[in-house]
Amino acid sequence: MHDPKLLLLSDAVVAVEAVATLAFALSGLLAAARKGLDAVGVCVVAGLTAFGGGTLRDLLLDRRPYSWVEHPGWIWVIGGGCVLAMSFMRARHLMPTERAMQWPDALGLGLFTAGGTRVALEQGMPAAVAVLMGIISAVFGGVVRDIVCNEIPTAFRDHRPYALCSFFGAWTLVAAQALQAPAWAAMSAAVAVATGLRVLALATNWTLPRWLPAGAEAQRRREEAGR
C-alpha cells in the first residue's frame, strides 16, 4: 500500500508546480507581448518560461517523465491561455510593461524554488544538490525567456537579487525539513522567503555590488560629466 503521507506530499509538490507554471507562463507571455511577437512566438516563449527550469532539473536528476509530459494538459492550458490573454490585451489596448511581468516572475521564483528543492530531496539528493536543483528550477526558465526575447537575462543584468533569493528560499526548506517541520510548512516558508526577498528587492531597488574592471567606474563618470 502507498503511504498516505507520501501521496499527500506528492500532491502538494504538484500543486505548487502548477501555480508556479502559471505564474512563469504569465511572465513569459508579458515579455513576448512587449517584444511584439506573433501568437506562435508568444505561446513558445510562455511555454519555455513555464517548463524550462523544471525540464532541466528533471534532466539532471534523470527523472522521467518530465513534468509537462506527465501532465500534457498543461500544454493546452498555456496555449489556450496565451490566445485568450492576447485577445483581452488587444481588445483593451493594454501595453505590458517590464514592471508588470516582475510580479508573476517573483511568485514563480518562490514556488519553483520550493518545488524543485522538494523534488530533489525526494530523490534522495544531498542538501547542496537539492538547493542547486531548486535554483535551476526557479531561474532557468526566466533565463531562456530573456534569451529568446533577445535580452540579457534579468537574473544577470538588473543587479537586484534573483538567484540569491532562490538560494535562501531553498536552504529555508532544507533547514525546515531538518527540524522536522511539516512538509506544507517547509514549502510555504521557502516560497515566502524566496518571493519575499525578491519583492523586497524590487520595492526598495536593492542591488548587489557590480563587478567593474579597474578604472571602468572613473571612465563612466567622465563620460557622464561630458554629456
Cell readout for 190 is: 521557502
- pLDDT score recorded for residue 5: 47
Q: Using only C-alpha atoms, what is the Rg of the chain?
A: 19
**pLDDT for the residue numbered 166:** 95
The whole-model pTM stands at: 0.80
Tally of CA atoms within 13 A in the half-sphere of 1 that contains its CB:
3
Q: How confident is the model at residue 220, as a pLDDT?
A: 57
**144 CB-side CA count, 13 A:** 22
In sequence order, the 6+-apart residues with CB closer than 8 A to the CB of 190 are: 110, 113, 114, 117, 134, 169, 170, 172, 173, 176
CA angle 59, 60, 61 (to 5 degrees): 90
**Which pLDDT belongs to residue 96?**
64
- CA distances to 81, 126, 131, 148, 153 from 117, in Å: 28, 10, 6, 26, 22
**Measured between alpha carbons, how far is 30 from 50 in angstroms, rounded to an integer?**
13
Place of cell 524543485: 116
Per-residue pLDDT of the chain (227 residues; tens, 9 = 90+): 444 444 444 556 667 778 888 888 888 888 888 888 888 888 899 999 999 998 999 999 998 888 788 878 888 888 888 888 877 777 665 666 667 678 888 888 998 999 999 999 989 999 999 999 999 999 999 899 999 988 888 888 778 889 999 999 999 999 999 999 888 889 899 999 999 999 999 899 888 877 666 555 566 566 556 55
pLDDT of residue 8: 46
Q: What pLDDT is stored for residue 12 in this prediction?
A: 62
